[in-house]
Amino acid sequence: MPAHRETFFQKGQRNSNQLSIVPLVGNYLVKSLPERIFRKLLKLFNRCEIPACGLLNQLEYEARTGRTCKPPPQSLRRKNFEFEPLSTTALILEDRPSNLPAKSVEEALRHRQEYDEMVAEAKKREIKEAHKRKKIMKERFKQEENIANAMVIWINEILPNWEVMRSTRRVRELWWQGLPPSVRGKVWSLAVGNELNITPELYEIFLSRAKERWKSFSETSSENDTEGVFVADREASLELIKLDISRTFPSLYIFQKGGPYHDVLHSILGAYTCYRPDVGYVQGMSFIAAVLILNLEEADAFIAFANLLNKPCQLAFFRVDHSMMLKYFATFEVFFEENLSKLFLHFKSYSLTPDIYLIDWIFTLYSKSLPLDLACRVWDVFCRDGEEFLFRTGLGILRLYEDILLQMDFIHIAQFLTKLPEDITSEKLFSCIAAIQMQNSTKKWTQVFASVMKDIKEGDKNNTPALKS
């Protein structure tokens, strides 16, 4: 057995259940310890052995501690290890101190058997986790290969012939599988379009206006505070943008102050408030702009952002048009009842209406609620299918967690749907989305929505539960 496998730190004779910690890894473990933790270990374990080829050589030890380390007597070393645990450290029950009664043979055998069982379980877990990691890596390699193949098709065949091929069955099927990141921004821009005819020069004009307003705001803010004057619409103010940027994908840090995309996000949101003062800035916009920035250049991101928010559904929500929002909720509930009748009745029994969970999902286009890579795939198909897919995705989420939601009450449902599990996977969610049928009595989404609009105009508000509230 190599010498470094026999090394251990011994606590000393402190109590009857004396334990020693046995490092069972190479030099990298101890050498990587921070100074503070290293010294704490030395203070805790008064004596240690430094083997010739072991965890830390004599010179390094003395340089770090300023002490000379003497090896313990040969009699204290454990010999004849018949196993090699896969874990980095292990606890071994030592013989009792000489001033205490020795273990009986039965007790020693029992302790050895228990420890052997512990090691065996550790080995099983290691093997199981290794197989799991291997499976994940295999799936990842397969996915990367598929992305690489798809990228070639998009670049060489589809994008050069966009108008001809965008609606073909082959392209739609490829689109459903998710866009390769290298072409995602380009496809999004083409799919969203530019009905507003915004140019990069127009963006620069509104950005300069925003900068003038920032300067003016900073100069007059202290004076306004003194006079007790409040900004009429806080959500439309440029000051609120500054607050929201720091809350946008905080775990990524790239949009925080000092991050590479902080100023870009600030610029796009500020320019938009000047471009569309009738809409202004609304919380949730920062997430949409951030996703676009990650996939497009600054001016292109602004153009896509402005056109995306000009779509009927987004305009209704960001203008907080309650009448239109109710129509969307009513249409959603028609398909909710059609696809998930049991869960629909469960929600109805608690008077849990779609606005409680759908508003946050729609406002951020799922970029806040779902993992970023999964949210981008939702955006892929949203750009292909339009607003219908946003509500279809909502139903897919409800279907995915139907069994869990059926066991919850109002409060727990609201909490669960506000913060979805982080382990949600693309395969599972899109499998549930695919199972959702967006057809009610031969009527598609647009037809049902038009029917709801007609019913509301005629004053027939008793057809859908959402309108009763």
The residue among 433, 445, 203 whose CA lies nearest residue 313 is 445
The pLDDT value given to residue 226: 39
H or E stretch including 90? strand 89-93
- Give the pTM: 0.70
H or E stretch including 22? strand 19-23
A 10 A CB-CB count for 104 gives 9
Q: Please answer whether residues 179 and 381 qualify as being in contact, where contact means their C-beta atoms are separated by less than 8 angstroms.
A: no
A 10 A CB-CB count for 255 gives 26
Q: What is the C-alpha to C-alpha distance for residues 373 and 443, in angstroms, rounded to an integer?
A: 32
186, 376, 426, 429 from 143: Cα distances, Å: 21, 16, 12, 17
Q: Please answer whether residues 62 and 56 qualify as being in contact, where contact means their C-beta atoms are separated by less than 8 angstroms.
A: no
Q: Please answer whether residues 85 and 62 qualify as being in contact, where contact means their C-beta atoms are separated by less than 8 angstroms.
A: no
3-class state of residue 228 by DSSP = coil
Eight-class DSSP state of 47? B
The pLDDT value given to residue 399: 97
- Average pLDDT for runs of 10 along the chain of length 469: 41 40 40 52 49 46 57 49 46 66 84 87 91 88 87 94 94 94 95 96 94 75 45 55 88 90 94 92 93 96 97 94 94 95 96 94 94 95 96 97 95 93 92 92 88 74 46
H or E stretch including 190? helix 181-192
Q: What is the C-alpha to C-alpha distance for residues 234 and 243, in angstroms, rounded to an integer?
A: 11
Q: Please answer whether residues 244 and 257 qualify as being in contact, where contact means their C-beta atoms are separated by less than 8 angstroms.
A: no
18 φ/ψ sector (left φ>0, alpha ψ -120 to 50, else beta) = beta
Q: Please answer whether residues 265 and 255 qualify as being in contact, where contact means their C-beta atoms are separated by less than 8 angstroms.
A: yes
Residue type, 214: W
The pLDDT value given to residue 87: 46
